[in-house]
Amino acid sequence: MKHFLFSLLVSVALFFQSSLSAQVKSAQNPIIYADVPDISIIRVGDTFYMSSTTMHLSPGVPIMKSKDLVNWEMLNYAYDTLGEMDELSLINGKSNYGKGSWASSLRYHNGMYYIATYAQTTDKTYIFRTSDIEKGDWKMNEFKPGFHDCTLVFDNGHAYLITGGGKLNIVELNEDLTGVKEGGVNQVLIENASTPTEPNMLPAEGSQLFKHDGKYYLFNISWPRGGMRTVLVHRADNLLGPWEGRIALQDKGVAQGSIIDTPDGRWFAYLFQDHGSVGRIPFLVPMKWVDGWPVIGIDGKVPDTLDLPASKGLIPGIVNNDEFKRKKREPALPLVWQWNHNPDNSLWSVTERKGFLRLKTGRIDSLFLKSRNTLTQRTFGPVCSGTTLLDASKMKEGDFAGLTVFQRKFGQVGVKIVNGQKQVFMVSNKTDNPTELQSIPLSQNKVYLKIDCDFRDKIDVATFFYSLDGLTWKPIGGELKMEYTLMEHFMGYRFGLFNYASKNPGGYADFDYFHISDKITL
């Protein structure tokens, strides 16, 4: 009897352990709860590589790596800058917000990795190439015109771009991919790719082409009026058509991206969803082939869980802490960081004061969003927090420095110098009119700053804090209702470290560290 009871208890324990293990090991959607839109993905051997969009940020076109489709790490970027135009560098009142490089196309062909993308600011098409994607020594070719949302296609010894919205066109490139081939293919590929979901607010765009079992499959995103973002797929036996199309997925607004197979033969669609102010976040959706068509979803639905390893979190692969301590031969900035527009490299340093990021002012700015050298990282969900320690001892009259969470409607907490006195301040731009909600006299040089972001159920609220000792935090100002704006910024909210002068250039602010967390003050 004792033996029976012992066996029963062991069986029950093993059952619950197995159930718990299964829960722990299951991947969850969204697969990445952060702004990683316009996904283009490839597999080379057992390794997955993915490119994405970061718009007006520099460096641009982030490249990520994964072994399991769930846990990703930053590898490199396709470029440092796209050029030195005023718009790209926040000069003479001009900006690149909402523009920069858009949806990219990542490809592997004959031992070479390629990325094609387009930038509205320059109206150029860019094609990057490298033989070693891990080290990322990308060579850039650029040419006009700019081909919107293009997908790069290698087929039967020729290279093409498919581009456009609604009416999709195909254009042949010259042999070295430095421009359009004179006398090559240049024609309409599909007269109206949006037909399956008409009438549309957003015509079919975001092309990604794949070849499977001898057939060509062209994926696009559309947005029918009164409906949701939708995945469209067109199929053809020949690259130039004729093409037939249908809806591939219409659930939760999850759309646009790539399809990918695993080494063990499973298929997935890697797509994104507009998810409020945190941005456009990736979902991974199982896929299978039925009668020569891709069938995405489980009974047409995006599942909450997946038979894949659980996420280990976005820290340190996609966002990370930084103590600003650099060893010899280490890069000045880890890959998790991007500048808001092109930086002025003469006005920042991680070596002038060991263990600190120094942001120096070199001109007068009247508005935070027009000031240069704001250093940024992604926010992420469901909640996150960013913290820094600011040394304001070398700031000048009229200087503003601190921590921000920003899109068009931004919030700031930091230090300003007014009549020779330091003040902790909080500014909200939720009404598109930057408004100081509170300022408090500061009698010391160092102050701790923190911003909490709550994206649960799209509440999209940021709260702001300061501390004099790093232990006791005090709220300041008020909440910021974050809002994702399409045309102006077109990106998820970012944490940023900033410093700008409104009266006297030449001062500087030192940041001791930046810490990021998946927990907030309750």
pLDDT in tens, 181-231: 999 999 999 999 999 999 988 899 999 999 999 999 999 999 999 999 999
Domain span(s) for CATH 2.115.10.20 in the chain: 27-306
Tokens representing residue 16 in the block: 């619950």
Check residue 432 and give its pLDDT.
84
Peptide bond into 242 cis (omega under 30): yes
Check residue 486 and give its pLDDT.
79
Check residue 13 and give its pLDDT.
43
Peptide bond into 59 cis (omega under 30): yes
Q: What angle do CA 313, 316, 317 make, to 5 degrees?
A: 80
User: How many Cα atoms within 13 Å fall on the side-chain side of residue 49?
Assistant: 24
Beta-strand pair 435-442/446-454: unpaired
From the number of C-beta atoms within 10 Å of its C-beta (0-12, 13-18, 19+), residue 419 rates as: exposed
d(CA 219, CA 410): 35
The residue behind tokens 């940041």 is 511
Tokens representing residue 356 in the block: 């600190």
Low-confidence ranges of the chain (pLDDT < 70): 1-24
Tokens representing residue 381 in the block: 């969900």
Are 368 and 493 a contacting pair, CB within 8 Å? no
CATH topology of domain 344-517: Jelly Rolls (2.60.120)
Strand partners, 421: 418
DSSP state of 175: T
Q: Strand, helix or coil at 229?
A: coil
Domain span(s) for CATH 2.60.120.200 in the chain: 344-517
Are 71 and 354 a contacting pair, CB within 8 Å? no
Positive or negative CA dihedral for 360, 362, 364, 369? negative
Check residue 224 and give its pLDDT.
93
Q: Which DSSP string corresponds to 248-279?
A: EE-STT-EEEEEEE-TTS-EEEEEEEE-GGG-
Are 397 and 420 a contacting pair, CB within 8 Å? yes
Closest C-alpha among 425, 366, 364, 353 to residue 394: 353
Check residue 4 and give its pLDDT.
46
Are 369 and 497 a contacting pair, CB within 8 Å? no
Check residue 69 and give its pLDDT.
98
The residue behind tokens 């080379």 is 44
- Provide the residue count of the chain: 522
- What's the pTM? 0.93
Residue 477, C-beta contacts closer than 8 angstroms, at least 6 positions apart: 411, 413, 425, 426, 427, 428, 436, 437, 438, 464
Closest C-alpha among 101, 117, 111 to residue 133: 111
Run of H or E residues at 446 = strand 446-454
Query: Which superfamily does CATH assign the domain made up of 27-306 to?
Result: Glycosyl hydrolase domain; family 43 (2.115.10.20)
Are 280 and 221 a contacting pair, CB within 8 Å? no
d(CA 234, CA 64): 28
Check residue 252 and give its pLDDT.
97
Q: Strand, helix or coil at 301?
A: strand
Run of H or E residues at 513 = strand 508-517
d(CA 512, CA 359): 12
Q: 231-235: list long-range contacts, CB under 8 Å, 24+ apart.
A: 231/255, 231/256, 231/269, 231/271, 231/296, 232/193, 232/194, 232/196, 232/197, 232/204, 233/293, 233/294, 234/190, 234/193, 235/292, 235/293
d(CA 89, CA 97): 11
Closest C-alpha among 410, 392, 366 to residue 402: 392
Residue 34, C-beta contacts closer than 8 angstroms, at least 6 positions apart: 278, 279, 281, 314, 318, 319, 378, 379, 380, 381, 492
Residue 300, C-beta contacts closer than 8 angstroms, at least 6 positions apart: 249, 250, 251
